[in-house]
Structures are given as structure tokens and as C-alpha cells.
Amino acid sequence: MSELAPKTTNLLQGTLDLLILRALSLEPLHGLGISRRIEQITRGTFQVKPGSLFPALHRMEEAGWLAPSWGESENNRKAKYYRLTAAGRRQAQTETEEWQRISLAIAAALQAT
């Protein structure tokens, strides 16, 4: 029996920042790379469009969570790469803990009779 393709889902409010921080936890990436990584780590459940991604990246850069630098993409084009700052790593930890707390509470509510 073949595995069905995952159904894409709209991002819940507040999840995009956490997914971007998570996507950048291993290495700096450019915008398209971040979008691809999010799709990969969510097994295709979330597909982030540029209209949502780039304003979030700009906001997170302004907050001091991301540091940009220019480089070349895999197809030799100029691209803006983002890496986590120390503040970004702390924010990733804070948001991860908060989402774990929320997901446990939702799971408990769904199991309640």
C-alpha cells in the first residue's frame, strides 16, 4: 500500500517564526532554502510562500534574531543568507518550550471525555 502525500495545512498564528528559527538551527540558508527546509522538516505539511516568508525574515532580522549576509546560491546567483544570532537561538528555545506546552495541553483536551 502506498503512502499518501501529506495534506498541506495553513500555519497557525505564531508558528512561522518557530519554523524559520528551526530551519536555520543547523546552517545559514537563503529565503528559498528556508522555505524548502520548512517543507522538508514538516514532511510537506507546511509550504511557506514568499509573501509570508520575507516579511517574517525582515521582522526577525529587526528583532535581532537573524543576521544576514550576501553570498551565492547553488545556481550562482546573489542571495541573502540568514543565520541565527545568539538571541535567535534563545528565542528558538523559548518558542520551542512554549509550543511543547501548548501541544501537550491541546492533546490533553482532545483526549478528554
Give the pLDDT of residue 112.
Answer: 81
Domain range for residue 100?
A: 15-111
The string of DSSP codes covering 36-48 is: HHHHHHTTTS---
* Count of the separate structural domains present in the chain: 1
Check residues 107 and 4 and name the one with the higher pLDDT.
107
Residue 78 lies in a domain: yes
Q: Which residue bears the cell 529565503?
A: 31
Residue 3 lies in a domain: no
Residue 6 lies in a domain: no
Say which CATH number the domain at 63 has.
1.10.10.10
Residue 79 lies in a domain: yes
- pTM score, two decimals? 0.85
Residue 32 lies in a domain: yes
The string of DSSP codes covering 35-88 is: HHHHHHHTTTS----HHHHHHHHHHHHHTTSEEEEEEE-TTS-EEEEEEE-HHH
Q: What is the DSSP letter of 12?
A: P
> Does residue 5 register a pLDDT over 60?
no
Residue 29 lies in a domain: yes
Residue 1 lies in a domain: no
Mean of pLDDT values over 46-62:
94
